[in-house]
């Protein structure tokens, strides 16, 4: 089984977010980048298939040379090889086009993406990829097993989960649950050293125009100061909730 894991290069959740040029561009100064958390869950599941069923795992991302450190981390975790599409990802459909082209040329049986990236939260790339390829698709996937050419997956639905049986080739939009946080792999020294010798191919993007463009970014309004009320002064609390917060 050949597995392609799509990796997004995203800011660490602890990074301080700012914008420049009239709030039209993200300020990358001082920002630490990591593997998108939803993608890391999917990568860990792919490594499980590698260890248990002999699958070959390839990781891919769309990005510039600065994203190669993230790909190398994925290789250190256990992926066999990596592909970087040499383009700056500005639009979800463009990214889906590039990833679908890689998938089509590689003949992969299973494609695992995160259901959404941590930076733009668009949640559109996995579904678009499946549509472009004509593959089956399961989103918000929390469980995944494969036997031969058949897969069984579970996904979140309102009030519970749905279990689906389908055939490969398959695109999965994964999230926490496809593996648990305790199962995530931390690269060890041997993995880091081995990652330096694993293949990392760079391919040029296929033609395609961006369908959308970010015009401006806006940060959330700062939180107002907290007003402390004595636990013995219920009258004041009720007055503030009624007249100031207007929640009762």
Distance CA 179, CA 171 (A): 17
Distance of CA 128 to the CA centre of its chain: 15
200 contacts 63 by C-beta, under 8 angstroms: no
17 falls within a domain:
yes
Rounded to two decimals, what is the model's pTM?
A: 0.88
- Provide the CATH number for the domain around residue 99: 3.40.50.620
In whole numbers, what is the pLDDT of the chain averaged over residues?
93
Average confidence (pLDDT) over 80-97: 94
Place 196 in a pLDDT band, splitting at 50, 70 and 90.
very high
243 falls within a domain:
no
- Residues 6 or more apart whose CB falls under 8 angstroms from that of 220 comprise none
237 falls within a domain:
no
Residue 178 has a pLDDT of: 96
Beta bridge partners of 82: 59, 200
Q: For the purposes of burial, counting CB atoms within 10 Å of the CB of 185, is it exposed (0-12), middle (13-18) or buried (19 or more)?
A: middle
108 falls within a domain:
yes
112 falls within a domain:
yes
Helices 125-133 & 92-106 angle (0-180, nearest 10): 50
Distance CA 35, CA 131 (A): 25
223 falls within a domain:
no
Distance CA 53, CA 221 (A): 50
Give the domain extent around 35: 2-218
240 falls within a domain:
no
32 falls within a domain:
yes
Average confidence (pLDDT) over 191-197: 93
Residue 14 has a pLDDT of: 87
Distance CA 1, CA 100 (A): 18
Number of structural domains (the chain) is 1
Helix (H) or strand (E) holding 68: helix 68-77
Helix (H) or strand (E) holding 3: strand 2-6
End-to-end CA distance of the chain: 58
Residue 113 has pLDDT above 90, yes or no: yes
Strand, coil or helix: 28: coil
Q: DSSP for 154-215, please give it.
A: EEEETTEEEEEEEESSEEEEE-TTSS-GGGPPPP-HHHHHHHTTS-EEEEPPPS---S----
Average confidence (pLDDT) over 5-25: 91
């Amino acid at each position: 089984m050949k597995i392609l894991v799509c990796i997004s290069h995203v800011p660490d959740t602890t990074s301080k977010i700012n914008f420049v040029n009239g709030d039209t561009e993200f300020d990358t100064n001082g920002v630490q980048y990591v593997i998108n958390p939803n993608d890391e869950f999917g990568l860990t599941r792919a490594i499980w298939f590698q260890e248990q069923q002999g699958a070959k795992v390839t990781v891919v991302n769309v990005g510039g040379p600065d994203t190669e450190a993230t790909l190398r981390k994925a290789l250190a975790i256990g992926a066999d090889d990596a592909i970087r599409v040499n383009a700056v990802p500005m639009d979800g459909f463009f990214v889906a086009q590039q990833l679908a082209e890689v998938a089509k040329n590689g003949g992969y049986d299973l494609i695992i993406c995160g259901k959404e990236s941590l930076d733009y939260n668009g949640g559109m790339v996995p579904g678009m990829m499946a549509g472009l390829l004509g593959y089956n698709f399961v989103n918000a996937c929390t469980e995944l097993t494969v036997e031969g050419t058949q897969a069984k997956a579970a996904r979140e639905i309102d009030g519970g989960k749905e279990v689906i049986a389908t055939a490969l080739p398959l695109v999965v939009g994964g999230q926490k649950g496809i593996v648990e946080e305790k199962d995530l792999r931390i690269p060890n020294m041997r993995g880091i050293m081995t990652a330096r010798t694993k293949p990392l191919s760079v391919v040029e993007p296929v033609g395609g125009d961006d369908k959308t463009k970010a015009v401006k970014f806006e940060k959330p309004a700062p939180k107002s100061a907290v007003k402390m009320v004595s636990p013995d002064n219920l009258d004041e609390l009720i007055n503030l909730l009624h007249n100031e917060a207007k929640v009762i």
